[in-house]
Amino acid sequence: MSAGDISDNFQLSKSTLTGHFLVLKAADLVETERSGTTIFYSLKLSVLESAIAALIDQFDIKSLGDDK
């Protein structure tokens, strides 16, 4: 999504969202692509999947329906 499309979903200033986008990019959680003056953001699912797997391991979460 473009930065503008994303910002339409939040009641935050564009400068605040820009700060959040920079943090996400620095954490390597999103990829960006520029087209003219528009920046498009894509979530890096492999990074998100790794983070979720680490949380599951950290908190010893059992899969749903696992009675063991």
Domain boundaries, the chain: 3-58
CB-count exposure of residue 41 (10 Å: 0-12, 13-18, 19+): middle
CATH class of 3-58: mainly alpha
For residue 37, is pLDDT > 90? yes
Partners of 32 in beta bridges = 41
For residue 58, is pLDDT > 70? yes
For residue 67, is pLDDT > 70? no
Task: State which H helix or E strand residue 25 sits in.
Answer: helix 14-26
pLDDT for residue 62: 72
Which residues contact residue 10 at a Cβ distance below 8 angstroms, ignoring those fewer than 6 apart?
A: 17
pTM above 0.75, yes or no: no
Query: In this structure, which amino acid lies at residue 25?
Result: K
